[in-house]
């Protein structure tokens, strides 16, 4: 027997990076509540509360709307591996890291991947996506609604319309948009969408909410080859979380508790009010940052309401300024990476973090940091 080991004592960070985001007390409390078994009626009851709320934030009536027992990256892998395989021609629109990752996952599944690329931080026009899809005539299309590496919003209407014209299904990455901006899965025509728990939903990381259209589920049911992934197989998950309640894996109960509480907070606020709050605080933060002389990487109207990417001014030291924020204010923001390493900051205002007083704190602390470092 070793001597007594002190309990862990995490620092209190103000999480204003691209995620994880601040977590409400009610959500933390749920994490400490007693667990039940993964086949307990109470677990299925929680799950049946979660699913309609997920439909609400996604803007969909898809019956197959549920939660994967993995992070947002598992959601991406699930979306790709259920639908993309050796017989797939997969067009991916790439102007940032996460779209690149979708293409990489498609490549690993053995698909013919067509990368349609622009420099990081740009968006694709309706004409560009239409031209690419009609030219390539893919069976699957992938894009990112909210590119976490750049701060860009990419509209999906033209992508989905052209894709459906050629019989393709559309995968949309909603990791940094869900719960903060209108995604409108059904109205846009998105077939498969995935997200995470730790950004707009303001829960700890660990779960991936997904939604899949009936059209897409029908294609999956008709698939002749075996799905390589067992853990993320939508047909098996449908038997667990859907009507049959058939054992598949042991779901992370405590994370489901947290997500239930996070979604209850969204239902209490109302999604429209929540979107409006994110937009208002976004506009105020941009005005504040511009008031400090910073320029935004992304032009209006392509900016995310969740993640702000000011360009690092010439002569200023990225790391020094982030260290100042962390040391003086316990504020955690992120730098850029890949093509944008050292060129931008990434400042998140999502979920519980998107508050008027946080805007003021960020503008004040960034001003001090820019003057000091």
Specify the residue, 65 or 148, whose C-beta has the smaller distance to a second copy. 148
Q: Name every residue whose Cβ is closer than 8 Å to that of residue 269 and which is 6 or more positions away in sequence.
A: 277
Closest Cα to residue 242, out of 263, 221, 270? 221
Rule CB under 8 A: is residue 245 a binding residue for a second copy?
Answer: no
Task: Give, as ranges, the residues between 203 and 232 that touch a second copy (CB under 8 A).
Answer: 204-206, 226-231
Closest Cα to residue 217, out of 85, 64, 76? 64
Mask: binding to a second copy, 17-56, rule CB under 8 A, as x and -?
A: x-xx--x--x-xxxxxxxxxxx-x-x---x----------
Angstrom distances, CA of residue 214 to CA of 50, 54, 65, 139, 224? 19, 16, 11, 16, 18
Angstrom distances, CA of residue 32 to CA of 24, 170, 197, 265? 13, 38, 17, 18
Mask: binding to a second copy, 62-81, rule CB under 8 A, as x and -?
A: -------xxxxxx-xx---x
Specify the residue, 73 or 215, whose C-beta has the smaller distance to a second copy. 73
Q: How far is the CB of 275 from a second copy (least distance, A)?
A: 13
Angstrom distances, CA of residue 136 to CA of 4, 28, 130? 64, 48, 10
Say whether 215 sits in a helix, a strand or coil.
Answer: helix
CA distance 90 to 58: 24
**Piece of the chain touching a second copy by CB under 8 A; list 212-220, 268-276, 297-305, 352-360:** 268-276
Rule CB under 8 A: is residue 254 a binding residue for a second copy?
Answer: yes
CB 170 within 8 A of CB 160: yes
DSSP assigned state of 312: P
Task: Kindly give the interhelix angle for 72-83 and 214-222, rounded to the nearest 10 degrees.
Answer: 60
Specify the residue, 54 or 158, whose C-beta has the smaller distance to a second copy. 54
Mask: binding to a second copy, 178-207, rule CB under 8 A, as x and -?
A: ------------------x-x-----xxx-
Q: How far is the CB of 174 from a second copy (least distance, A)?
A: 15
Specify the residue, 273 or 360, whose C-beta has the smaller distance to a second copy. 273
Q: What are φ and ψ of residue 26, in 5° steps?
A: -60, -35
Mask: binding to a second copy, 304-333, rule CB under 8 A, as x and -?
A: ----------------------------x-
Q: How far is the CB of 252 from a second copy (least distance, A)?
A: 3
Q: How far is the CB of 220 from a second copy (least distance, A)?
A: 15
**Piece of the chain touching a second copy by CB under 8 A; list 132-140, 241-249, 310-318, 351-359:** 241-249
Q: How far is the CB of 9 from a second copy (least distance, A)?
A: 8
Closest Cα to residue 220, out of 201, 242, 241, 192? 192
Q: How far is the CB of 256 from a second copy (least distance, A)?
A: 10
CA distance 143 to 154: 8
Rule CB under 8 A: is residue 268 a binding residue for a second copy?
Answer: yes
Rule CB under 8 A: is residue 339 a binding residue for a second copy?
Answer: no
**Helix (H), strand (E), coil (C) string for 301-314:** CCECCCEECEECCC
Q: Which of 2, 127, 300, 314 binds a second copy (CB under 8 A)?
A: 2
User: Peptide bond preceding 257: is omega within 30 degrees of 0, i.e. cis?
Assistant: no
Length, in residues, of the chain: 373
Q: Which of 51, 55, 89, 260 binds a second copy (CB under 8 A)?
A: 260
CB 363 within 8 A of CB 289: yes
CA distance 133 to 156: 13
CA distance 284 to 305: 11
Closest Cα to residue 129, out of 181, 166, 76, 88? 166
Rule CB under 8 A: is residue 356 a binding residue for a second copy?
Answer: no
Q: Which of 100, 147, 238, 261 binds a second copy (CB under 8 A)?
A: 261
Q: Which of 51, 55, 89, 101 binds a second copy (CB under 8 A)?
A: 101
Specify the residue, 35 or 187, whose C-beta has the smaller distance to a second copy. 35
Rule CB under 8 A: is residue 146 a binding residue for a second copy?
Answer: no
Specify the residue, 89 or 260, whose C-beta has the smaller distance to a second copy. 260
Specify the residue, 30 or 91, whose C-beta has the smaller distance to a second copy. 30
């Amino acid at each position: 027997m070793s001597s007594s080991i002190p309990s862990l004592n995490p620092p209190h960070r103000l999480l204003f990076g691209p995620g994880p985001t601040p977590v409400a007390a009610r959500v933390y409390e749920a994490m400490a509540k007693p667990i039940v078994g993964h086949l307990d009626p109470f677990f299925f009851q929680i799950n049946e509360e979660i699913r309609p709320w997920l439909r609400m934030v996604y803007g969909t009536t898809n019956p197959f709307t549920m939660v994967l027992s993995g992070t947002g990256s598992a959601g991406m892998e699930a979306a790709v591996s259920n639908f993309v395989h050796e017989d797939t021609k997969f067009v991916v629109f790439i102007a940032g890291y996460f779209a690149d990752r979708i293409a990489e996952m498609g490549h690993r599944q053995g698909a013919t991947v067509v990368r349609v690329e622009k420099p990081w931080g740009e968006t694709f026009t309706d004409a560009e996506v239409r031209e690419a899809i009609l030219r390539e005539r893919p069976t699957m299309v992938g894009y990112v609604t909210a590119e976490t590496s750049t701060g860009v919003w990419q509209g999906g209407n033209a992508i989905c319309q052209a894709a459906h014209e050629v019989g393709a299904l559309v995968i949309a990455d909603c990791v940094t948009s869900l719960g903060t901006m209108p995604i409108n899965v059904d109205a846009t025509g998105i077939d498969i969408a995935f997200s995470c728990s730790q950004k707009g939903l303001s829960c700890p990381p660990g779960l991936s909410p997904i939604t899949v259209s009936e059209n897409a589920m029908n294609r999956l049911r008709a698939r002749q080859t075996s799905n390589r992934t067992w853990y993320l197989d939508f047909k098996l998950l449908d038997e667990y979380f859907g009507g049959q309640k058939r054992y598949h894996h042991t779901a992370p109960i405590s994370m489901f508790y947290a997500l239930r509480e996070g979604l209850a907070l969204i239902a209490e606020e109302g999604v429209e009010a929540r979107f409006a709050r994110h937009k208002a605080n976004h506009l105020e933060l941009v005005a504040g940052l511009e008031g400090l002389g910073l320029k935004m990487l992304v032009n209006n109207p392509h900016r995310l309401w969740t993640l702000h990417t000011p360009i690092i001014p010439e002569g200023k030291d990225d790391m020094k300024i982030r260290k100042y924020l962390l040391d003086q204010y316990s504020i955690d923001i992120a730098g850029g990476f890949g093509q944008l390493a050292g060129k931008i900051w990434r400042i998140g205002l999502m979920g519980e973090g998107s508050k008027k007083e946080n805007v003021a704190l960020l503008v004040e602390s960034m001003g001090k940091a820019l003057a000091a470092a």
